Copies of this chain bind each other. A is one copy, B any other.
Amino acid sequence: MSDLLVRRIGRLTTWVGTPTVDAAVVIRNGRVEWSGPDRELPRGLGDGPQLDAAGAAVLPGFVDCHTHAVWAGDRRSDFVARLEGGDYVPGGIEATVAATRAADDSTLLRAAARRIRTMRANGTTTVEVKSGYGLRPDDEARLLEVIRRLDGTFGGIESTYLGAHVVPDGRNRSDYVAEVIASLPMAAAHGARWCDVFCDDGAFTTDEARQILTAAAGQGLGLRMHADQLAQVGASRLAAELRCASADHLDHVTVGDAHALASAGVVGVLVPVASLYTRSGRWSHAALLQQAGVTLAIATDCNPGSAYGESMPLAIQLACLEMGLSVETALRAATLGGAAALRRADIGHLGPGARGDLIVLASDHEVDVVAHLGAAAVTTTVTGGVVGRT
Contacts and interface: CB of A to CB of B under 8 A. Distances in A.
Interface of A: 74-76, 79-80, 83-84, 118, 122, 273, 276-277, 279, 307-311, 313-315, 320-322, 324-327, 365, 367-368, 370-375
Given A83-B324, A325-B83, A313 B367 contact: no
Contacts of A276: 321-322, 373
B326 A80 contact: yes
Given A79-B367, A314-B374, 11 more contacts: A74-B365, A74-B371, A76-B365, A80-B327, A83-B326, A122-B374, A276-B321, A308-B373, A310-B375, A311-B374, A313-B374
Count this chain's copies in the assembly: 2
A372 B75 CA distance: 10
B370 A79 contact: yes
A326 to B, nearest CB: 5
Among A84, A324, A373, the most chain B Cβ lie within 10 Å of the Cβ of: A373
Nearest to A84: B326
B314 A367 contact: no
A373 B79 contact: no
Nearest to A362: B118
Given A276-B321, A276-B322, A326-B84, A371 B314 contact: no
Given A118-B375, A313-B374, A326-B83, A76 B368 contact: yes
A311 B375 contact: yes
A321 B277 contact: yes
B83 A372 contact: no
Nearest to A122: B374
Nearest to A314: B374
A376 to B, nearest CB: 8
Nearest to A328: B80
Contacts of A326: 80, 83-84
Contacts of A373: 273, 276-277, 307-309, 311, 314
